[in-house]
Structure 1
Amino acid sequence: MTTTYMDRPAAAATSTRERLSLTVLLTASFTLAVDFSILNVALPAIGAEVGFSLSNLQWIATAFALCAAGFTLLFGRIADLFGRRRIFLGGIALLGVSSLAGGLAHEPVLLLAARVAQGLATAAVTPAALSLLTTSFPEGPRRERALGLNGALMAAGFTTGAILGGLLTDLLSWRWAFFVNVAVAVAVLLVAPLVLAESRPDNRPRLDLPGAITVTLGLLAIVYGLTTAGQRSWTHPPALGFIVAGIALLAIFWQVERRVEAPLVPVDIMRRRTVGWGNVAGLLAFATETSLVFLLTLYLQKVLGFSPLAAGLSFAVLGAGTVIGGMLGPKVIGRLGSVRALVAGFLVQSVATLALLALGDSATWMPLLLAATFVGGVANLVAIVGFMVTTTSGLPDREQGLATGLATMSQQIGITMGIPIMSAIVAATLHSLGDETVASTLTALRTTIAVNAALCLVTAALIAVFLRTPKPAPGHTPTA
Structure 2
Amino acid sequence: MTDTASSTPSRPPLPASPASPAGRRPTRAQTIAMAVLLTANLTLAVDFSILNVALPRLGADLGFTVSGLQWVFTALALCAAGFTLFFGRVADLFGRRRLFLIGMALLGASSLAGGLAQDPALLIAARAGQGIATAMVAPAALALMTTMFPEGPARARALGFNGALMAAGFTAGAVLGGLLTGTVSWRWAFLVNVVVALAVLVIGPLVLREPARGTRPRLDVAGAILITLALVALVYGIDMSGHAGWTHPGVWGPIVAALALFGVFLAVESSVREPLVEPALLRRSSVVWGNAAGLLAFATETSLVFLLSLYLQEVLGSGAIAAGLVLGVLGIGTVLGGLMAPRIIGRTNAKTAIVIGLAVQAAATIPLAFVSESRGWLIPLLVLTFAGGVANLVAIVGYTVTSTAGVPAEQQGLATGLVTLSQQVGIALGTPLMSAIVTAAATTALLPGLQVAIGVNAVIAGVAAVLVAAFVRLPHTRGSGTR
Q: TM-score, structure 1 length as denominator?
A: 0.93
**Stretch moving more, 131-140 or 161-170:** 161-170
* Counterpart residue identity of residue 422, structure 2: S
Shift of 1:199: 4.5
Alignment partner, residue 460 of structure 1: 465
1:170 is aligned to 2:176: no
Shift of 1:273: 0.4
Alignment partner, residue 268 of structure 2: 256
Residue 8 and residue 200 in structure 1: after superposition, are their counterparts in 2 closer, same or farther (change >3 A)?
Answer: closer
User: Are the aligned partners of 2:168 and 2:331 in contact in 1 as well (CA < 8 Å)?
Assistant: yes
1:449 is aligned to 2:454: yes
Shift of 1:229: 1.8
User: Are the aligned partners of 1:29 and 1:126 in contact in 2 as well (CA < 8 Å)?
Assistant: yes
Work out the CA distance in 2 between the residues paired with 1:228 and 1:477.
40
User: Are the aligned partners of 1:287 and 1:419 in contact in 2 as well (CA < 8 Å)?
Assistant: yes
Shift of 1:9: 7.4
Residue 313 and residue 180 in structure 1: after superposition, are their counterparts in 2 closer, same or farther (change >3 A)?
Answer: farther
Counting only pairs closer than 5 Å after superposition, residues 329-408 of structure 1 correspond to structure 2 as 329-408=341-420
Deviations 1:260-295 (A, max 9, x none): 111110111001100010110011111111111122
Alignment partner, residue 95 of structure 1: 107
Work out the CA distance in 2 between the residues paired with 1:207 and 1:469.
29
Work out the CA distance in 2 between the residues paired with 1:184 and 1:53.
31
Work out the CA distance in 1 between the residues paired with 2:284 and 2:474.
14
- Show structure 2 runs of 5+ residues with no match: 3-12
Deviations 1:291-337 (A, max 9, x none): 11122222222223333333323232122111111111011111221
1:74 is aligned to 2:86: yes
* Counterpart residue identity of residue 161, structure 1: G
Alignment partner, residue 436 of structure 1: none
RMSD: 2.2
Alignment partner, residue 479 of structure 1: 481
Secondary structure in structure 2 of the residue aligned to 1:71: helix
Work out the CA distance in 1 between the residues paired with 2:153 and 2:25.
20
Work out the CA distance in 2 between the residues paired with 1:266 and 1:158.
32
Residue 199 and residue 76 in structure 1: after superposition, are their counterparts in 2 closer, same or farther (change >3 A)?
Answer: farther
Alignment partner, residue 256 of structure 2: 244
1:114 is aligned to 2:116: no
Alignment partner, residue 234 of structure 2: 222
Residue 61 and residue 477 in structure 1: after superposition, are their counterparts in 2 closer, same or farther (change >3 A)?
Answer: closer
Work out the CA distance in 2 between the residues paired with 1:13 and 1:149.
14
Work out the CA distance in 1 between the residues paired with 2:472 and 2:314.
41
Deviations 1:50-83 (A, max 9, x none): 1111122111111100110000000111111111
Secondary structure in structure 1 of the residue aligned to 2:27: helix
User: Are the aligned partners of 1:156 and 1:319 in contact in 2 as well (CA < 8 Å)?
Assistant: yes
Alignment partner, residue 325 of structure 1: 337
Alignment partner, residue 324 of structure 2: 312
Secondary structure in structure 2 of the residue aligned to 1:274: helix
**Stretch moving more, 27-36 or 48-57:** 48-57
1:184 is aligned to 2:189: no
Shift of 1:478: 5.3
Residue 224 and residue 9 in structure 1: after superposition, are their counterparts in 2 closer, same or farther (change >3 A)?
Answer: closer
User: Are the aligned partners of 2:401 and 2:480 in contact in 1 as well (CA < 8 Å)?
Assistant: no
**Stretch moving more, 160-169 or 411-420:** 160-169
User: Are the aligned partners of 1:33 and 1:155 in contact in 2 as well (CA < 8 Å)?
Assistant: yes
Residue 198 and residue 41 in structure 1: after superposition, are their counterparts in 2 closer, same or farther (change >3 A)?
Answer: same
User: Are the aligned partners of 1:335 and 1:477 in contact in 2 as well (CA < 8 Å)?
Assistant: no
Shift of 1:347: 0.5
Q: How many residues align?
A: 469
**Stretch moving more, 457-466 or 182-191:** 182-191
**Stretch moving more, 78-87 or 309-318:** 309-318
* Counterpart residue identity of residue 459, structure 2: A
Work out the CA distance in 1 between the residues paired with 2:129 and 2:382.
36
User: Are the aligned partners of 1:163 and 1:315 in contact in 2 as well (CA < 8 Å)?
Assistant: no
- Show structure 1 runs of 5+ residues with no match: 434-439
Work out the CA distance in 2 between the residues paired with 1:233 and 1:267.
36
Residue 361 and residue 13 in structure 1: after superposition, are their counterparts in 2 closer, same or farther (change >3 A)?
Answer: closer
Alignment partner, residue 157 of structure 2: 145
Counting only pairs closer than 5 Å after superposition, residues 190-205 of structure 1 correspond to structure 2 as 190-199=202-211, 201-205=213-217
Work out the CA distance in 2 between the residues paired with 1:100 and 1:421.
34
Secondary structure in structure 1 of the residue aligned to 2:317: coil
Work out the CA distance in 2 between the residues paired with 1:304 and 1:466.
41
User: Are the aligned partners of 2:147 and 2:210 in contact in 1 as well (CA < 8 Å)?
Assistant: no
User: Are the aligned partners of 1:322 and 1:377 in contact in 2 as well (CA < 8 Å)?
Assistant: yes
**Stretch moving more, 193-202 or 410-419:** 193-202
* Counterpart residue identity of residue 134, structure 2: T
User: Are the aligned partners of 1:389 and 1:479 in contact in 2 as well (CA < 8 Å)?
Assistant: no
**Stretch moving more, 327-336 or 271-280:** 327-336
